[in-house]
Amino acid sequence: MEASLTKLLVVVVSIAIAGMILGLLWTMWGSFASSHDFSISAPIIYDFGGNRRILVSVKNIGSVAITRIQVDPDNDGTYEISVSTTLKQGEECQVDRTFTDSVSYPKQTVAIRVTFQDGKTLTKLFEFPVTRA
C-alpha cells in the first residue's frame, strides 16, 4: 500500500512540474512571437524662418500593429506632432507636419515615439538633416 501511494505521489508531482514547465514555455513563446520595432526613412526638416516642416516615413518592422506615432522635433520631451494610425507589419506611414520650435543646423536630433496595439511604447532618437527653404 505504501509503495503504490509513493508511486501516485511521484506521478502527481511529475504532472505538476510538467504543467509548470509548459506554462513557462507558453509565456516565453508569447513574448518571443511578438516583436515591437519600427524604422524610418527619408527624414528631413525644412526651415521656412517662422515655422518648420518635418517629413519622415515610419515603417512597422515588428509583428504588433502601431496605433500612434508621436514626434518631438526638438527632443525636449514634448511631443508636438501626433498621428493616429494603424500600421500592420511591413506597412509604412508618411508624417508631414509643421511646427514652430527652433532647430539647429545642419542636423537636428528628433525623438520619435510609437505606441503599439498592446499599449507598449518605443522611443528612438534620430538625426534629421535641416534645410533652409
From first to last of the 133 residues of the chain, give the pLDDT tens digit.
677 888 888 889 999 999 898 888 777 766 666 789 999 999 999 999 889 999 999 999 999 999 999 999 999 999 999 999 999 999 999 999 999 888 889 999 999 999 999 999 999 999 999 999 8
Three cell numbers written together for 7: 508511486
Note the pTM of the prediction, 2 decimals: 0.75
Going by C-alpha positions, the residue among 31, 70, 33, 76 that lies closest to residue 54 is 70
| CA count, 13 A, side-chain hemisphere, 72 | 15
What class, spelled out in words, does domain 38-132 have in CATH? mainly beta
Determine whether 49 is exposed, middle or buried from the number of CB atoms within 10 Å of its CB (0-12, 13-18, 19+): exposed
